[in-house]
Structure 1
Amino acid sequence: MNTGKSGIKTAVSSALRCGALAGVLALNVAGVQANDLDTIKANKVVRVAIDLGAPPFATKDNTLKPIGSDVETAELLANDLGVALEIVPTTGANRVPFLLTNKADLVVASFSITPEREKVVAFSVPYAAIQAVVGAPKDMNIRTLEDLVGKTVISTRGTTNDIAITKQALPGTNILRFDDDATSITAVASGQGDIFATAPPLLKAINTKSSDRNMEPKILLSTAMLGIGLDKKSTDLKGWVDGWVRTNLKNGKLNDIYKKHHGSPLPENVLSAGK
């Protein structure tokens, strides 16, 4: 297994070719070594990258305490591993670079498992799922992708939602990208745009911030499995995390966390991983 400079350069080149990591060449990735299971246990802390601008997966409450399903998932993982949790705030675009540059040991950030990303980083077995949809106010007549032509669709750069709308949008559709979900949500809630390519829970977050928006899903773009992201070199850690996910799907703890924050149980194809 290549863990040196050439191996990381190869991974970065592959990511650039598949369009998953725009701008990664600006990062200094030479000689970076990933933390594996023994190192994390020795340090007595696991660094987990979480997007705190993506409710209900993760956000901050009125006291600035991190909350959400991904936060509780990371807390449970750290507790079962017997180490402290260090939350590393990230954005959708930074999830892969944070693993490649050893800024985080794990990524628990509504991280969809895609073939492009799997060329660069490793994923656990799925622990949750997420839909990518086009949302708009209830009274807005949008039913198909053709209805988006000539309109502006807000999207968060580097997310699966952004990838889905970019691939499926017809010519003449204007995509306005922001760097994180928190900024995108604020843009829609404040009326900078009416159409949002996102996940259904984020539409609810907009309605909470601005009740007159009355956002709802209009077009289903895709359904994706969510995994815990790891550096490909962290093989022992991946083995432990896979076993942990299966155990906590089987005992219902991950399903309880998901239902608490999303209002519905995990899909059956996720729950089956624990059987």
Structure 2
Amino acid sequence: MNFAPTGTLRAAINLGNPILATRDEHGAPVGVSVDLAEAFAARLGIGLELVVFEKAAASVDAVRAEQADIGFFAIDPARSEGLRFTAPYVLIEGSYLVPDASALQDNADVDRTGTRIAVGAGSAYDLFLTREARAAEIVRVQGAPAVMSALRTGDVEVAAGIKQLLEAEARRAPGVRLLPGRFMVIQQAMGTPASRGAEAQKLLGDFVEEMKRSGFVSDALKRHRIEGAGVAP
């Protein structure tokens, strides 16, 4: 099995989810997913190339098209074609943000006729709500800032996203509040092109389990000061 046919491990890094990766003061990608990519390249004994994307959907497409050897994605049935996933290494809560004046008080109240929910196009929230919402309208925009803007300007009644990001938005400026609890749990996993086969999937899966068991993932979350996420069991 040749996990990295170019001789270098190409890791797709999604900057659209700051719990997993962001840029440091010099513009270099940093975060839990970067740490895992570095550790896996070291395990294979080869060099690492970070292939950076601003949105999850672009990262998924890159791995599916074999423009990258591994990636870091939310597990979702809509992404299963062309990819092989590990078990999750991190669990992230998805929540709703609403205007202070909204009559909505509970997550169960959101899926009703006349409610528009802003989501990042191609995000885990988009995929989940597209599948699960029965009455609400899903409004797809490009990235988390556009989701927040759509809520602030009244283009939608609800914004869906990572709980940590929505909490930060509520602290940043008055006028919005978080609905209590969560409407989904996002299972973040590593993935590789399906064409690499079951052996590659097992090698990557065994690596993820070891990183969880050894405390590597927990330590990375602490090191990068990540709140709102926990190590998957």
Bin the TM-score by the shorter chain.
0.7 to 0.9
Structure 1 residue aligned with 2:2: 36
Indicate if the aligned counterparts of 2:107 and 2:182 stay in contact, CA closer than 8 A: no
Task: Choose the corresponding residue for 2:178, options 212, 216, 221.
Answer: 216
Indicate if the aligned counterparts of 1:53 and 1:182 stay in contact, CA closer than 8 A: no
The equivalences for 1:50-65 within 5 A come to 50-65=13-28
Moved more, 147-156 or 96-105: 147-156
The equivalences for 1:93-104 within 5 A come to 93-104=57-68
Deviation per CA, 1:106-153: give whole Å up to 9, x if none: 112xx2223343343101122112233222356644214444542332
- Does 2:128 match 1:160? no
- Does 2:92 match 1:130? yes
Deviation per CA, 1:12-70: give whole Å up to 9, x if none: xxxxxxxxxxxxxxxxxxxxxxx932635xx2x21111211221222223432223322
Q: Distance in 2 between matches of 1:122 and 1:255?
A: 24
Q: SS at the partner of 1:78? A: helix
Indicate if the aligned counterparts of 1:189 and 1:206 stay in contact, CA closer than 8 A: no
TM-score (normalised: structure 2): 0.80
**Pair 177,227 (structure 1): closer, same or farther in 2 beyond 3 Å:** same
- Does 2:187 match 1:225? yes
Shift of 1:244: 1.3
Q: SS at the partner of 2:82? A: coil
Deviation per CA, 1:130-178: give whole Å up to 9, x if none: 233222356644214444542332101112211222233343x332211
The equivalences for 1:185-200 within 5 A come to 185=148, 187-188=150-151, 193=156, 195-200=158-163
TM-score (normalised: structure 1): 0.69
The equivalences for 1:3-82 within 5 A come to 36-37=2-3, 39=5, 43=7, 45-82=8-45
Q: SS at the partner of 1:198? A: strand
Between Structure 1 and Structure 2, the one with more helix by share is 1
**Pair 264,184 (structure 1): closer, same or farther in 2 beyond 3 Å:** closer
Q: Distance in 2 between matches of 1:105 and 1:162?
A: 25
**Pair 52,264 (structure 1): closer, same or farther in 2 beyond 3 Å:** closer
Q: Distance in 1 between matches of 2:151 and 2:70?
A: 30
**Pair 61,266 (structure 1): closer, same or farther in 2 beyond 3 Å:** same
Moved more, 149-158 or 246-255: 149-158
Structure 2 residue aligned with 1:16: none
* Count of matched residue positions in the alignment of Structure 1 and Structure 2: 228
Which one-letter code corresponds to 2:34 in the other structure? V
Q: Distance in 2 between matches of 1:151 and 1:196?
A: 11
Between Structure 1 and Structure 2, the one with more strand by share is 2
Percent identity over the alignment is: 22
Indicate if the aligned counterparts of 1:46 and 1:86 stay in contact, CA closer than 8 A: yes
**Pair 67,188 (structure 1): closer, same or farther in 2 beyond 3 Å:** farther
Indicate if the aligned counterparts of 1:186 and 1:206 stay in contact, CA closer than 8 A: no
Q: SS at the partner of 1:227? A: strand
Q: What do you get for the CA RMSD once the two structures are aligned?
A: 3.0
**Pair 72,149 (structure 1): closer, same or farther in 2 beyond 3 Å:** farther
**Pair 174,36 (structure 1): closer, same or farther in 2 beyond 3 Å:** same
Indicate if the aligned counterparts of 1:121 and 1:230 stay in contact, CA closer than 8 A: yes
